[in-house]
Amino acid sequence: MVPEDFRAGARNKKIDSVIVSRYGLVVAGSDKGDIYLWQLNYYEFKKRLPQCFKQLYSFKNHTKNLQCMEFSPNGKFLLTGSVDGTAKVWKLDKGQIEDEKLVVTLE
How many residues does the structure list for the chain? 107
List the CATH code of the domain at 3-106. 2.40.10.480
Distance CA 49, CA 47 (A): 6
pTM confidence score: 0.74
Compute the half-sphere exposure of residue 51: CA atoms within 13 Å on the CB side of its CA.
0
The per-residue pLDDT for 59 is 74
pLDDT tens sequence across 27-63: 888 888 888 888 888 888 788 877 788 877 777 788 8
| 19 neighbors 27 (Cβ within 8 angstroms) | yes
